[in-house]
Amino acid sequence: MRGPRRPDLAARVRACARTLRVHLDSREALADAIRQANASLEPGKVAAWLVGEAAGWFSAACWGAIVHDADAQLEILADDGLTLPVRPALWSIATWVVRNGVEFSSADLSADPRIERGSAGCGIGFPLICRGKAIGALVAVDPVTSTAPPSLGPSLLLAVRGLLEPAAIALGNAIALQRAEAQSVTDDLTGLSNSRYLNSALRRETKRASRNGRPLSLLFLDLDGFKQVNDTHGHQAGSRALAEAAAIIRGCARETDIVARFGGDEFSLILPDTGQEGAASVATRIRERLRSARFLTSDGLSIRLTASIGVATLPDVAASAEELLRAADTAMYKVKASGKDGIFIATSS
């Protein structure tokens, strides 16, 4: 014999309303929310606290915090109970809430015209408002429909908004800081790391490689004859060609590799746990893909570019970050001096 059916989401919200109102109206709850939300500068940790806090309000199959990340794209930063079947509903509700900046409630998502097709069950969503703008949404979803839209009521909704406001501000600050940090180490034109980050990452990886007894390789790359592209077609076309070349170079590397624009038309790749042979293979792949590519085709052009690449490996030819960078740079210039469009592997003298 089957046991009693579990109350639907709307009924569970109604059952918890009185207790939740008492909790949210207390000064301790607001003070704790402010303290906990500002305990970290990492957006993921702030979002995780928020989801944990909301999961204590009332039971739902899934809670999720979806926000605009550092690239202004919606991302599920934290969740509790997220499964593949409820993901479309969570995402659709969050998208609607962020777009409209108001709360959402639905008893049957599959019949709700506000929600994309493919969503099922019921759900409720709250906007995360930071400085007058919805930066994300806090969403609860159940995979089954409710007899009525889950609703908090006007007074309880005001109390929830009062607690969500400092949490949203803390989350917005954390995301803004993350965006500022990313911009400080990212090349605006190519989206790759910049030379500042390259230098710090190279020092870090050199120390790690030396400590673990693992090889570390560095590629230094210069696009041959790139000045002619600027002189012939203008600097805007040259910038677009650089961005296209950067995408090719990035595509030749692993996720664990660090790809940076060193400056001008020079690029560098840090290859952790990679010896001379593996580094030479990456250099060959980059050289061949650049040679076979046609640049600025969207501008009606068909520019060809080649590259001079220097390769240096620690501990074979260097014992420090500075020595490794100097060895790779010297190797690259040897290619330039011998006719360009090639690879030179630094060796110990």
* pLDDT the model gives residue 336: 92
Report the C-alpha gap between 68 and 193 in whole angstroms: 22
Q: Under a CB-based contact definition with an 8 Å cutoff, are residues 215 and 314 in contact?
A: yes
SS3 content of the chain, % helix, strand, coil (to 5): 50, 20, 30
The CATH T-level fold of domain 195-345 is Alpha-Beta Plaits (3.30.70)
Region 71-78 average pLDDT? 80
Report phi then psi at 279, rounded to 5: -65, -40
Residue 199 above 50 pLDDT? yes
Range of lowest pLDDT (177-181, 251-255, 296-300): 177-181
* pLDDT the model gives residue 190: 92
Region 79-88 average pLDDT? 92
Residue 78 above 90 pLDDT? yes
Higher pLDDT among residues 267 and 318, named by residue: 267
* pLDDT the model gives residue 179: 76
- Say what percent of the chain tops pLDDT 70: 96
* pLDDT the model gives residue 117: 83
Domain 9-183, CATH: 3.30.450.40
Question: pLDDT tier at 68 (50, 70, 90 boundaries)?
Answer: confident
Which tokens sit at 123? Answer: 């759900």
Q: Under a CB-based contact definition with an 8 Å cutoff, are residues 86 and 118 in contact?
A: no
Q: What mean pLDDT, rounded, does the chain reach?
A: 90
Domain boundaries, the chain: 9-183, 195-345
Report phi then psi at 300, rounded to 5: 80, 15
For every residue of 218-279, which 3-state class applies, written as one string? EEEEEEECHHHHHHHHCHHHHHHHHHHHHHHHHHCCCCCCEEEEEECCEEEEEEECCCHHHH
Report the C-alpha gap between 42 and 49 in whole angstroms: 11
CA distances (Å), origin 180, targets 71, 185, 190, 261: 11, 9, 17, 19
Question: pLDDT tier at 186 (50, 70, 90 boundaries)?
Answer: confident
Work out the burial of residue 178: count CB atoms within 10 Å of its CB; fewer than 13 is exposed, 13-18 middle, 19 or more buried.
Answer: middle
Report the C-alpha gap between 42 and 170 in whole angstroms: 10
Residue 71 above 70 pLDDT? no
Q: Under a CB-based contact definition with an 8 Å cutoff, are residues 308 and 296 in contact?
A: no
* pLDDT the model gives residue 50: 93
Query: What tens digit of pLDDT does each residue of 320-343 get?
Result: 999 999 999 999 999 999 999 999
Residue 3 above 70 pLDDT? no
Q: Under a CB-based contact definition with an 8 Å cutoff, are residues 163 and 20 in contact?
A: no
β-strands 216-224, 306-314: how paired? antiparallel
Region 257-282 average pLDDT? 94
Question: Which residues contact residue 88 at a Cβ distance below 8 angstroms, ignoring those fewer than 6 apart?
Answer: 116, 118, 119, 120
* pLDDT the model gives residue 81: 93
Question: pLDDT tier at 349 (50, 70, 90 boundaries)?
Answer: low
Query: What tens digit of pLDDT does each residue of 91-113 get?
Result: 999 999 999 999 999 999 999 99
Query: What tens digit of pLDDT does each residue of 203-245 get?
Result: 989 998 988 899 999 999 999 989 899 899 999 999 999 999 9
Region 277-287 average pLDDT? 96
* pLDDT the model gives residue 72: 64
Residue 70 above 60 pLDDT? no
